[in-house]
Amino acid sequence: MEVILKEDVNKLGHRGDVVKVADGYGRNYLLPGKLAIEATAANKAVIEQMKASAVRKSAKEKVEASALAEQLNAVELVFERKSGENDHLFGSVTSSDIAHELAAKGFTIDRRKIALDDPLKTIGEYHVPVKLHREVTSHVKVTVKGDREEVAEAPAAEATA
């Protein structure tokens, strides 16, 4: 099935591209989600208008994304989680957690735009990339702290007989 993309789709193409996809993927995901339209003769005539519009829209989005990236570069998030031996967390910090904290600070970022390969499972400081636009990526500083307090080892009580 050939479709014309109305939005950028990860690992498939950009807005205005004509791509060939599996029938089920097109019918069940792209078309209902209004991410694409079927590539008929009439729709192919509209591609040029869509591409011009897409270029204008992309330029506007890039400017907005650049401004947001400047603000996000200054943001620092701190998470406190239960930790065990060797600074390993019992839970983890996921992209959803980061998106939720960013929302609490006034930034509405979709969790899918947070490029976290694996959840953060150890204590430390991380710079997590946030893909705001295909050409604009920001980095958010994330600090993960453990709740374990380092207990000083008390001297062993001597047995008296």
Residue 126, domain CATH? 3.10.430.100
Same domain, 43 and 8: yes
> Which residue intervals of 12-156 are DSSP H helices?
23-25, 41-73, 95-104
d(CA 72, CA 78): 14
Same domain, 83 and 111: yes
Which phi and psi angles does 40 have, rounded to 5°?
-95, 175
**Has residue 118 been placed in a domain?**
yes
**Has residue 50 been placed in a domain?**
yes
Give the closest residue to 98 by CA, choosing from 129, 122, 134, 56: 129
Same domain, 27 and 90: no
pLDDT of residue 148: 63
Residues 18, 19, 21: CA angle, nearest 5 degrees: 145
Give the closest residue to 6 by CA, choosing from 29, 35, 33: 35
Same domain, 75 and 140: yes
Helix (H, G, I), strand (E, B) or coil at 75: coil
**Has residue 161 been placed in a domain?**
no
pLDDT of residue 44: 77
Render each residue's pLDDT in the chain as its tens digit; 161 residues: 999 888 888 889 887 788 999 999 999 999 999 899 998 878 877 777 777 787 888 888 888 888 888 888 888 999 888 888 888 888 888 889 999 999 998 888 888 888 888 888 888 899 999 988 888 888 999 999 887 654 433 344 444 44
Domains: count for the chain: 2
Same domain, 54 and 75: no
pLDDT of residue 54: 74
d(CA 3, CA 42): 12
**Has residue 158 been placed in a domain?**
no
pLDDT of residue 149: 56
Same domain, 112 and 52: no
Same domain, 8 and 53: yes
The domain in which residue 126 lies consists of: 71-146
Same domain, 103 and 54: no
For the question of whether the overall pTM of this predicted structure is more than 0.85, the answer is no
d(CA 60, CA 52): 13
